[in-house]
Structure 1
Amino acid sequence: MKRALIITALVLALAGCGSIPPQRLTVPKPTGPHPVGTVSVHLVDQSRPDPWNGSGRKRELMVSLWYPARDVQAHPVAPWMPKAAAERYLEMNDLEPGSVLLDRTDGHEGAPADTSLGRLPVVLYSPGANASRAYGTGVVEELASRGYAVVTVDHPYDAAVVEFPGGRVEAGVELTDFAKAVDVRVADVRFVLDSLPSLEEKLPGRDGKPLFDLARIGMFGHSLGGAATSSAMYADPRIKAGLGLDGAVFGKVAQSGLDRPYMVVDTDGKGGMATNPTLRTFWDGLRGWRLNVTLKGAAHNSFGDDALLIPMAAEPLGLGKEQLKEVVGTIPAERALAFQRAYPPAFFEQNLRGRPQALLRGPSAAFPEVSYRR
């Protein structure tokens, strides 16, 4: 099932029955020691026209910065999805505004950054196709609460909806050329990397102090975002470590591999290393630190906030066990979320901060559903 259809199903399931009151979609609170601040930023790449809309308009991106905050009092929590984008979701499904509440995260808008932590490792996040940067909120907040600066990137026109300043919303196009989509995303990511100094200036309460450690940049993504991660690493050596969550591999990196740390997370349901020859070729070409883990019982949409949201929709939508298994597997949502809160942070702790992690060495009693391959 395509992610766009899953989103539609979720909205219909939660709002389609008049007897069911509106539900607020949330993700579990981050567990790190720092409260989380966030700001959204509009970027325009003057060097290239948008490759999807055909208007000749320069390529625009929306990104969000997530970071450890000094003080979150008097700073409201950010919405999971911006208001106009959320309303477009509902409008696309003939639903009234407010039928579903997408109005809460644990990131506080405009909260001052905690400058006492010094320079922060930077992690970029790229979501799946027909998705949104919102879908990584849970793991992104976790990283920020542990002292990372995280930049989440919306890729307009292969994202479901993107809201720009002033309430303008651009909906996604029907995506069929995934190789092109990866190339576009790589260009987006390289532009974001170029923009990091100016993005740093957007952090509230920075007081001129440098907070982004540009020598410690990592990236991760789900599905098409995982493919974008490996290809962006191939194209740009500024990305020192990458992680793909059930992502394919496209382009030259599939044959050439990488010389920096990379972690492949796959699932039995999607095929993974065992039956995906391109992924196996990529794996064989990894020359730096590498790890492949398979999350038993997971399916392609067991990653990101989908792991929580889709099971919530199953009963009111009438999804049977086999249908739900196809989408999110048999792994309980709390275990899928626990995996995301443990393994990506461990990967970046080891490969951006140089702190070896026992969790990455081999099987863990705390995660019996995870198998390892070196």
Structure 2
Amino acid sequence: MTSRRAFLKGTLCGSAAALLPTAASAAAGGGPVLRLPPPTGPYPVGMRTVCLTDPDRADPWVGGVRQVMLTVLYPARSVRGFPRAPQLTRREADVFAEYAPHVRPGLPELGAVDWGAVLTHGHRGAPPLPGRRPVLVYSPGGGDSRTLGTTLGEDLASHGRVVVLVDHPGDASQVELPTGMRRTVLFGPPDPATFRTMVDTRVADLRLVLDRLGDLPLAPVMDARRIGLYGHSAGGTAVVRAAGQDRRVGAVANLEGYLDLYPTPVGFARPLLLFRTDGFDGAARITSSWAGLPGRRMLLSDANHWAFTDYGPLVARLHTAGLVTAAARAALIGTGDPAVTLAEVRRRVGGFFARHLPEPDHAEGPVPLPGRATGRPEAG
């Protein structure tokens, strides 16, 4: 009989690094050169991609077995000779260019930007730094792919964590699986029933990832006793829901996700960061839905909903280039300095996990938060 471990490894779709083009294959577009800000930690960042298959669960959007794509970011021992990965595969970039102005109104029309030329700071296949490190798992916002969490994820990895960015095929705008391209089935705000299906599916995807941590290529450097979840928007909803059902999770950060879809978790005692912007038009619902939960509440000033993602630096650059209007920029990421906003997001999220899932050297006390504070605790 096939062993459970052999079976689990058989359900890993394997490294999808071959799906990623080299930088030289990116088409030379006439638009602005878009760059993601570099991470600030002491370690260079390695990157690997993995596909997981859940043979026991049907995909709610298209049928068949459920598959999810992961990007694993980690502190690397060396990155010499290992290339930086593009943010999107060439095929993903082509689909995103088509969908972007519809999924996020105000983004440039098809042909204005070469999305496939955007490089991350993750080096494909670089050897990991030895040692067992906290694991942080990220769920993106509804309609977004995991790649839009690259900047924050790389920064967390550069400070000594293993970060797993999770794609949720079906509601993500696009995901390239080994079996082909998955496009979103959603356009516009989902109705309550669809949103519940989306969140329930994400919770099950997150549980799958936690169940399979020991089978991932980076398992030897992952400390399964120190697991955190963080998510943006619908991802924030999902990570709180998942943590309420799973005692393996030690800390949770919700980046502006509604929590009124389900009853408030009873006895939710894990450290919880509730982080929102001052510009989001759903602020009243956000604060109301958070009212029953304990947790550290933070407010990001001069910002809007997608400032928590890679849209922050990218939309700001597109606005400077004249490809995004001032109104669209404000509606997407707010009016603040994108560098200051990004620094504050990194500072608050990184500091939260450093306090509650510390490296061994930090076990004796809280870690001081470096840098300038621009966000502020919410009154009350």
Same fold? TM cut 0.5: yes
Instruction: Quote the residue 2:348 is aligned against.
Output: 343
User: Mapping of 1:295-306 within 5 angstroms?
Assistant: 295-306=300-311
> Residue 96 of structure 1: CA displacement?
6.1
1:24 match: secondary structure: coil
Instruction: Quote the residue 1:24 is aligned against.
Output: 33
Aligned partners of 1:320, 1:59: CA distance in 2, in Å?
A: 39
Change (3 A) 1:97 1:314: closer
For 1:182, which of 199, 202, 206 is the aligned residue? 199
Say yes or no: does 1:171 pair with 2:183.
yes
Instruction: Quote the residue 2:275 is aligned against.
Output: 265
For 2:266, which of 233, 246, 256 is the aligned residue? 256
Say yes or no: does 1:66 pair with 2:73.
yes
Instruction: Quote the residue 1:37 is aligned against.
Output: 46
Instruction: Quote the residue 2:86 is aligned against.
Output: 79
Say yes or no: does 1:215 pair with 2:225.
yes
Instruction: Quote the residue 1:193 is aligned against.
Output: 210
Change (3 A) 1:251 1:366: same
Cα deviation code 1:164-222 (max 9, x no counterpart): 126x21110116221221111000000110010001xx13xx8xxx3211110001111
User: Mapping of 1:344-359 within 5 angstroms?
Assistant: 344-353=349-358, 354=363, 355-359=365-369
Contact 1:255/1:282, CA 8 A, preserved across alignment: no
> Residue 67 of structure 1: CA displacement?
0.5
The aligned amino acid for 1:194 is D
Aligned partners of 1:34, 1:255: CA distance in 2, in Å?
A: 37
Cα deviation code 1:292-322 (max 9, x no counterpart): 0111211112111111111222255565434
Change (3 A) 1:253 1:153: farther
Aligned partners of 1:101, 1:271: CA distance in 2, in Å?
A: 31
Contact 2:255/2:275, CA 8 A, preserved across alignment: yes
Aligned partners of 2:119, 2:323: CA distance in 1, in Å?
A: 26
Structure 2 unaligned residues grouped into runs of 5+: 1-28, 101-108
1:336 match: secondary structure: helix
Change (3 A) 1:232 1:253: farther
Say yes or no: does 1:284 pair with 2:299.
no
Change (3 A) 1:281 1:173: closer
Contact 2:94/2:116, CA 8 A, preserved across alignment: no
**Root-mean-square deviation (CA), in Å?**
2.6
Instruction: Quote the residue 2:242 is aligned against.
Output: 232
Change (3 A) 1:60 1:372: same
Change (3 A) 1:370 1:285: closer
Change (3 A) 1:282 1:257: farther
Change (3 A) 1:129 1:183: same
1:52 match: secondary structure: coil
> Residue 88 of structure 1: CA displacement?
2.3
> Residue 143 of structure 1: CA displacement?
0.9
Aligned partners of 2:313, 2:111: CA distance in 1, in Å?
A: 23
Query: What is the TM-score of this pair, normalised by structure 1?
Result: 0.82
For 2:166, which of 144, 153, 167 is the aligned residue? 153
Contact 1:234/1:258, CA 8 A, preserved across alignment: yes
Change (3 A) 1:159 1:352: same
The aligned amino acid for 1:172 is T
Aligned partners of 1:267, 1:257: CA distance in 2, in Å?
A: 27
Aligned partners of 2:181, 2:289: CA distance in 1, in Å?
A: 40
Aligned partners of 2:140, 2:36: CA distance in 1, in Å?
A: 16
Aligned partners of 1:256, 1:160: CA distance in 2, in Å?
A: 34
Contact 2:252/2:271, CA 8 A, preserved across alignment: yes
> Residue 270 of structure 1: CA displacement?
2.3
Query: What is the TM-score of this pair, normalised by structure 2?
Result: 0.81
Structure 1 unaligned residues grouped into runs of 5+: 1-19
Aligned partners of 2:269, 2:374: CA distance in 1, in Å?
A: 30
Contact 1:22/1:101, CA 8 A, preserved across alignment: no
> Residue 347 of structure 1: CA displacement?
0.5
